[in-house]
Structure 1
Amino acid sequence: MHLILTGATGLVGTAVLHTMLTTPSISKISILSRKPVPQADGHPQAKVFITNDLNNYEKNVLEELRDAKGVVWALGISSTQVDKPEYEKITYDYPLAFARAISSATSPNPINFVYVSAEGATTTPGMLTPHWCGIKGKAESSLLELSKSQEYSNIRPISLRPCGVDPKEHTEIHDFVPEKQGFAKMVESALLPPLRMLWPRMMSPTRELGKVLTELAMGEGKAFPEKDEGVSGEGRTLNNVAQRRLAGL
């Protein structure tokens, strides 16, 4: 099976890549990245495509991706690191551009598109909603609407909203996880320890998170029952509670 991954040098992407590299049924991993991916070194099934333009894809690259079964879009950035327009470009424009490109490249075969969103994202933002919540929610709903169009109907979108992403017990990826800096480091140091103890259902251990994201990309791409806790968006948006249930936590 051939899967595509973005954001492979980030925390979530690092966890997903570890799962992909250690899953025997995954024979090919195509990584779209803006920089080298040391974690993929020495793994013949992994190929890194270095690109600085995530809004446009060359025909020869798409040709190599046309037999892919699924995508995990883990590329992202903290809203504290960039201004709103840049955040929207990375969080909304890039995944939508690639969804259109990979849909055309793989058509008429179905392709799963797993978008890594975040707990707190919303498709109905209000005046006081932080901009990142609305932008991620807009990406979720736009991917769903894209799949309803005739031109891109082979896309099978699933948006996953992890919370409290925690690599503590995932020792295999520690050498590859980027170190948090500044405000993000302060938030992680202040919030993760009490969350682990007092509110574990809001935690997303990276070993289990990487496995769930990979399995969603490998699966049938069907919607989940909206009656299930943590499922919304016509069965195609899963919050952290639903993610933990899939992980067996």
Structure 2
Amino acid sequence: MKVVLFGASGMVGQGVLRACLEDPGVTEMIAIVRRPLGRSAPKLREVLHTDFEDLNPIAADLADADACFYCLGVSSVGRSNAEYEKVTYTYTMEAARVVAAGNPRLTFVYVSGEGTDSTEQGRTSWARVKGRTENALLAMDMHTYAFRPGWIQPIHGETSGTNWYRLLYRLTSWLYPLLRRLAPRYVTSTEHLGRAMIAVARLDGAGPRILHSRQITQLDA
């Protein structure tokens, strides 16, 4: 299985990359990054690219993929609506357009979030943008899955690129075992996310297209 990964340097992307490198069924791993990751593996190849609004220059690297795991994203906190929409919608749709070109059997897994607004009519701006992105991806000629995790616990030392997220995880990591028991519907981990993405890539478009934390975790059972 050839997998293309966006967002490999983020907390979720780090977990997904680790799962892919450990899975013998993933034979080729293409990470699209702005800066080198600083790691190497026999089946990992990094493609450096800075303009995520135009991926045509690297289209050949994305061709013939079996799956694209899209983990690139930012917090809406401190960003204008235009900036958040560019990263969340425009970048994602450009990635889907290029990687799915001539490849209708591609599985595209998009990391969305709990609270995403599929109606695109709600009062919360970030939720509307996420909903618009999900809907556009689901309408494309490919196998789309939208993951809507709630609380994501880093398991193997993955770290967020956002300072206040890193602080939050340091202060609350002890809560994870309790949350798993009390609120499994809203809690998963970077390890579960990575393995679940690989699992849905093998479904050939079957099963529910929007998955929440409990379903994500169950796919790794």
Relative to the length of structure 2, the TM-score reads 0.89
Relative to the length of structure 1, the TM-score reads 0.79
Q: Which residue identity lines up with residue 198 of structure 1 in the other structure?
A: L
Which runs of structure 2 are paired with 1:67-82 in the superposition (5 Å)? 67-82=64-79
Q: Cα gap change, 1:200/1:192 in structure 2, threshold over 3 Å: closer, same or farther?
A: farther
Q: Deviations over 1:66-116 (max 9, x none)?
A: 221010000001111422211111111111111111122xx1551111101
CA–CA distance in 2 between the matches of 1:139 and 1:192?
33
Which runs of structure 2 are paired with 1:14-53 in the superposition (5 Å)? 14-38=14-38, 41-53=39-51
User: Match of 2:193?
Assistant: 209
Q: Give the deviation of 1:236 after TM superposition.
A: 1.6
Q: Which residue identity lines up with residue 211 of structure 2 in the other structure?
A: L
Q: Cα gap change, 1:13/1:64 in structure 2, threshold over 3 Å: closer, same or farther?
A: same
Q: Deviations over 1:160-192 (max 9, x none)?
A: 10110001xx23xx1x5236413x346543597
Q: Secondary structure at the match of 2:100?
A: helix
Identity of aligned residues (%): 28
Q: Deviations over 1:186-244 (max 9, x none)?
A: 6543597263463233111221121001222344122x2xxxxxxxxxx3211222222
User: Match of 1:7?
Assistant: 7
- Aligned partners of 1:3 and 1:217 also within 8 Å: no
Counterpart among 114, 133, 149 of residue 162 in structure 1: 149
Q: Secondary structure at the match of 2:3?
A: strand
User: Match of 2:131?
Assistant: 137
Q: Deviations over 1:37-85 (max 9, x none)?
A: 12xx2302111111111121235x2223222101000000111142221
CA–CA distance in 1 between the matches of 2:80 and 2:174?
25
Q: Give the count of matched residue pairs.
A: 218
Q: Deviations over 1:4-63 (max 9, x none)?
A: 00110111100000000011121110011122112xx2302111111111121235x222
Is 1:110 aligned with 2:105? yes
Q: Secondary structure at the match of 1:35?
A: coil
For the aligned residue pairs, the C-alpha RMSD in angstroms reads 2.2
Q: Cα gap change, 1:53/1:218 in structure 2, threshold over 3 Å: closer, same or farther?
A: farther
Q: Cα gap change, 1:185/1:239 in structure 2, threshold over 3 Å: closer, same or farther?
A: same
* Structure 2 unaligned regions, length at least 5: none
Q: Secondary structure at the match of 1:177?
A: coil
- Aligned partners of 1:212 and 1:247 also within 8 Å: yes
Q: Give the deviation of 1:125 after TM superposition.
A: 4.3
Q: Cα gap change, 1:132/1:108 in structure 2, threshold over 3 Å: closer, same or farther?
A: closer
User: Match of 1:240?
Assistant: 213
User: Match of 1:150?
Assistant: none
- Aligned partners of 1:76 and 1:90 also within 8 Å: yes
- Aligned partners of 2:53 and 2:91 also within 8 Å: yes
